[in-house]
Amino acid sequence: MKIKYFPLLTFILILFLFPDLTHGQFGQNKVQYKEFEWKYIQTKHFDIYFSKGGEKLAQFTANVAENSLKNLTENLDYNITNRIPLIVYNSHNDFQQNNVIDEYLPEGVGGVTELFKNRINVPFEGDYEKFRHVIHHELLHGFMNEMFYGGSVQNIISKNISLSFPLWFTEGMAEVQSLYGLNKETDMFMRDATINNYVPPLENIGGYFAYRGGQSFFAFLADTYGEDKLGILMNNVKTFGDVDQGFKETFKVTVEQLDEKWQKYLKKTYWPDLKIREDVKDFSKQLTDHEKEGGYYNVAPAISPDGSKFAFISNKDDLFDIYIADTKNGRIIKKLVEGNNSTDFEELHILTPSLTWSPDGRKLAVTAKAGDKDVIYIIDINSEDKTTLPLNFNTIYYVSWSPVADNIAFIGANGDRSNLYVYNLKKKNLETLTDDIFSDANPTWSLDGKRIFFTSDRSGYTDPATIPKDLKMWNYDYSNTDYYSIDLQTKAIERLSDLKYSKESYAQINSDGKKMIYLSDKNGITNIYMREIDSSGNFTDKPITNALNPIDQLSLSKDGKKLLFVSLNKGGYDIFSMDNPLERNIGLKELELTDYQKKSREYDVKFGKKLYTLNGSDQLISDSIKIAVKNDSMKKSSDYFITDPGKVSEDSSMNYSYIDSANSKDSSVLNSVNLNSESNDSNRIDSSKYYGEDVKISFESQDLSKTGIVDSSYADNINFKVSDNQNSDGSYKIKNYKIKFSPDLVYGNANYASFYGLQGVAQIALSDMLGNHRIYVQTSLVIDLKNSDYAVAYYYLPKRIDYGFQLYHTARFLTYGSVFNNYLYRYRTIGGSVSASYPISRFKRVESNLTVEHISRENLDISLEPITRKTLIVPSFSLVHDNTVFGYTAPVSGTRYNFTLFGSPKLGPEGIGFGSLLGDFRHYIKLGEDYSFVARLSGGASIGPNPQRFFIGGTENWINREYENYSIPISSIEEYAFSSPGLPLRGFNYDRMSGSKYSILNLELRFPLLRYLIFGALPLGFANIEGVTFIDAGSAWSDTKSLQFISRDTDGKVKTNDLLLGTGLGARANFLGFPVMFDIAWSYNLDKFSSPKYYISFGYDF
């Protein structure tokens, strides 16, 4: 479990520090929609940064972080020595605008901890218990960064630390610590995985399973060997610098042996449930099938008022879309909304799914992220026209349409609170129903539309006048939620439940108001229960399901004869239907408790926090029963769902960020960020010209300090006193944020050789705490300054427009001449540039750049040959669009294009004057799981006295390259500065054809070739080898009038003339962490194929 290949770490560091190198001309944007006014507070161990409106969230974070750190210190027997920065965002929309992490963070990513400055980033999403869990979860990552790596990448490099952790270790440990052992949701997930035989060995656990499986594994170790063993394990791993050895020293057996014991434990625990519980398919009809249709989610069913159809959200086509389907058989009627690929529907809130029908069944209300805000759309089912409600909230979720009026209830959140609102469609006015610090959720209407039922953590605070003005949420028990109702006329709030030890949700009332079905996890598995209420207000509760699988998200038809619900089903979520649910009787008054629920009722779970210690049975407040009968509705939120068994980085050692979705109840995880792909591109300035060549990182760089941080405000300060940073009431003093640069990476390596002289490489990357200001310095010294590269760049990123400023010097050496004599030429470039990028949306941006360069060409073999010099001014403008979805190494669906206009005015008689237009259009079609088809059309045209030269043939980063005329097609400053290859066009050498215009068409079919390839003699192997078949066609020309693609030869045969055709096949794999491509191609002239040409190259497919 060590990093065996230092070049791999080097490659990752380059990708992270200089993201523009890999993103190239495409990528989606991170848009700073607003300017943030940052401040911070300081506790004993943390510097907590927050923006306007987040003062109370920062104070809450301070207390939770210190308490969580105390818990971790006791459990893991280690004291941190450096201060940890913690950045708090008022909403997930604000979180997505951060510059600490360059990658776009989609819905479901609940927190990020990075290693360059060990910064923890957490958004508040309207739920204080979830917020607490995220803080504790991410703090474990920061704790481990400090414990094992000294708190920075700089420390890893300077001390040559090669320890790495599998994802199941880091995420499983974070979950078992922040959730105090096992919890119901993981217990339910592992039951499904065990019974359906998809629990992999630990060494193969990745993705979402790493969270749930890792938590289960560590909880098993704590139960079996004692809770103190986890702390001993952590310290042994630190001592030996190896995960395997740490396990062996702690438990006296190997990880593999512990894995085997855990797997047996899971079977012993969950297999007995097969005898006493029902599979969900035994009592319902499956309407969706994620195994056959693809994806993992089929969620948020909303049955229409007439019961004939239902709306739901699914990612069966990669993106989250809204579908309308037939209630009888699940047949898709239409796709109503395509999500995740347009500004209007950047994200559908699958974690708080909100689909609700209008009373007449003609329209659907849905929440979505659109730019910097959440919105509610009213969509006509037939015409698909939509209108947007005029609201202004950072976050909107849980939408519910009144069954009898034009009122829509929803939860809106701004800053440190989430409240209940109603919008009237006719009057077009917004009414605030609750306005306090407490978290509200899950509104649902009574049948007469006069009351709204909702869940809240407000406890007994039903009268706003009784809420203390100085109420501090960090001193308040926010872990429990109960059911409440509010009268629309009087705004009087009634507490309807006091259920502390189980979670009830999704209450549905039948038409006469005498029966109610709801979800409860009383026995440890979320099942459906029914309450029958007689005319006297007496009631009886009974379960109507006894499911193995957890059930969620009920939707009952108006006549009560059809019930839709969601259930975890073999690692994914599907929608099921049940006929006549109110008549179902399973003959049980209570369900058998799960093994976990039995244990949790008997003793405190690990690490000292009580979960479920029941004293007596749960019951609703008696006075509430009459209210429930009178108002026909009652509902309580479970806060459970959604989980994503989708793609997450398999190897945490290769990421310097922990990108999590630590949810208080479900720890939902969506796609993590792949640092190596264009899909995660931000609207950053392209720096590849200045930093992309021969960047090397030494593992012998000098250590600046223990953590590589020199600014005292970021390091541990023995003079720091908490009392100096607190007010008289115990709150922390608020300070204004100031820009202070500290290093992300400092590397320097130099040597002297008698023949080559002085050589050295230096890299310095600096940024402020928020990542808004960045400075990069690079030098590569070879003999003297004339032969060396050096550059400095500054990026200004806090506002919507990103600016870049660069100064640089480069030296390149080319050999060319006649057949008998070759000469060595040196090309020197001294230049600078100013660039700007304006993101129109997440998917589209406009870029501009102004470069001034002075280029010289010098013959180093013949000193008498005059040195040629040119000065150039090059403005450029680009329009970029990208809504693609990535697979393993390349996009699999969506569209991306780049159109660039640039040129150079002719400065004097010796100047270079031209104007060029370049275009690159790519469309990706997913054909099935891991299969895709790609069509790409690219081209360019240049005009002017010195038009740009395009040469076509070959492929990018071709290692065993061949040139058409056995030399690089560059012999002048004009060609050095502006000659541009058109690639790929396989089957031909580099520079097979050239001209001032070109066009290339590429068609590719991509498919899985081999899942694993392991060599017997060598400890090397490949995984997820992708195959491709392709057809390339292209041409380059200068005179359009004389262009002739096809002609006849002297024998009358039709052959290509100014057209190049090539076809072939290839394979793509990662070797030692580097992406490698191998292609075999044949050229074709319409008469015959050529002999094969072989291409070995580094990089990823277009």
CATH number of the domain encompassing residue 1053: 2.40.160.50
Distance CA 235, CA 529 (A): 47
Dihedrals φ, ψ of 520, to 5°? Answer: -150, 145
Cβ(502)–Cβ(618) under 8 Å? Answer: yes
For residues 533-554, average pLDDT: 88
The last residue of a domain, from among 602, 631, 660: 631
211 within domain boundaries? no
Specify whether the backbone of 818 is left (phi greater than 0), alpha (psi in -120 to 50) or beta. beta
356 within domain boundaries? yes
Distance CA 508, CA 505 (A): 9
Range of the domain at 960: 886-1102
Distance CA 491, CA 510 (A): 25
**Tokens 């923890």, residue located:** 120
* pLDDT of res. 759: 64
Instruction: Report the DSSP pairing between strands 395-401 and 451-456.
Output: unpaired
| DSSP 8-state secondary structure symbol assigned to residue 328 | T
* pLDDT of res. 141: 97
For residues 111-134, average pLDDT: 96
Give the tens place of pLDDT for each residue, 61-75.
Answer: 999 999 999 999 999
User: Does position 1 have pLDDT exceeding 70, yes or no?
Assistant: no
The last residue of a domain, from among 611, 631, 651: 631
Query: The domain that contains 619 carries what CATH number?
Result: 2.120.10.30
Q: Kindly state the percentage of the chain with pLDDT values over 70.
A: 85
Q: Kindly state the percentage of the chain with pLDDT values over 90.
A: 68
1047 within domain boundaries? yes
User: Does position 690 have pLDDT exceeding 70, yes or no?
Assistant: no
CA distances from 280 to 181, 286, 566, 575 (A): 28, 9, 10, 11
User: Does position 712 have pLDDT exceeding 70, yes or no?
Assistant: no
Count of other CB atoms within 10 angstroms of residue 1029:
13
Cβ(87)–Cβ(119) under 8 Å? Answer: yes
Residue by residue, DSSP assigns 60-107 as HHHHHHHHHHHHHHHHHT----S-EEEEEESSHHHHTT-SSS-S---T
782 within domain boundaries? no
Cβ(490)–Cβ(643) under 8 Å? Answer: no
Specify whether the backbone of 28 is left (phi greater than 0), alpha (psi in -120 to 50) or beta. beta
Cβ(162)–Cβ(241) under 8 Å? Answer: yes
Cβ(21)–Cβ(59) under 8 Å? Answer: no
683-687, 725-729, 764-768, range with the lowest pLDDT: 683-687
The last residue of a domain, from among 631, 662, 683: 631
Domain count, the chain: 2
Distance CA 881, CA 847 (A): 11
Distance CA 859, CA 868 (A): 9
1042 within domain boundaries? yes
For residues 640-661, average pLDDT: 40
For residue 905, give both structure tokens.
């005015």
User: Which residues are paired to 311 by β-bridges?
Assistant: 302, 324
Determine the length of the chain: 1102
842 within domain boundaries? no
At 1010, is the pLDDT very low, low, confident or very high (cuts 50, 70, 90)? confident
User: Does position 781 have pLDDT exceeding 60, yes or no?
Assistant: yes
Rounded to whole angstroms, the maximal C-alpha distance in the chain is: 111
* pLDDT of res. 714: 37
* Preceding omega of 909 cis (within 30 degrees of 0): no
CA distances from 488 to 450, 457, 493, 1020 (A): 6, 20, 10, 68
At 617, is the pLDDT very low, low, confident or very high (cuts 50, 70, 90)? very low
Distance CA 298, CA 289 (A): 8
User: Does position 685 have pLDDT exceeding 50, yes or no?
Assistant: no
Question: Cβ neighbours of residue 154 under 8 Å, at least 6 residues apart?
Answer: 116, 701, 703, 704, 707, 708, 709, 743, 744, 745, 746
* pLDDT of res. 498: 80
697 within domain boundaries? no
User: Does position 739 have pLDDT exceeding 70, yes or no?
Assistant: yes
Output Rg (C-alpha) for the chain, integer angstroms: 32
Give the tens place of pLDDT for each residue, 76-85.
Answer: 999 999 999 9
User: Does position 850 have pLDDT exceeding 90, yes or no?
Assistant: yes
At 702, is the pLDDT very low, low, confident or very high (cuts 50, 70, 90)? very low
768 within domain boundaries? no
At 719, is the pLDDT very low, low, confident or very high (cuts 50, 70, 90)? low
Give the tens place of pLDDT for each residue, 227-240.
Answer: 999 999 999 999 99
* pLDDT of res. 584: 95
At 757, is the pLDDT very low, low, confident or very high (cuts 50, 70, 90)? low
User: Does position 330 have pLDDT exceeding 50, yes or no?
Assistant: yes
* pLDDT of res. 512: 78
* Preceding omega of 970 cis (within 30 degrees of 0): no
Instruction: Report the DSSP pairing between strands 950-952 and 980-982.
Output: parallel
Average pLDDT value over all residues in the chain: 85
89-93, 180-184, 419-423, 813-817, range with the lowest pLDDT: 813-817
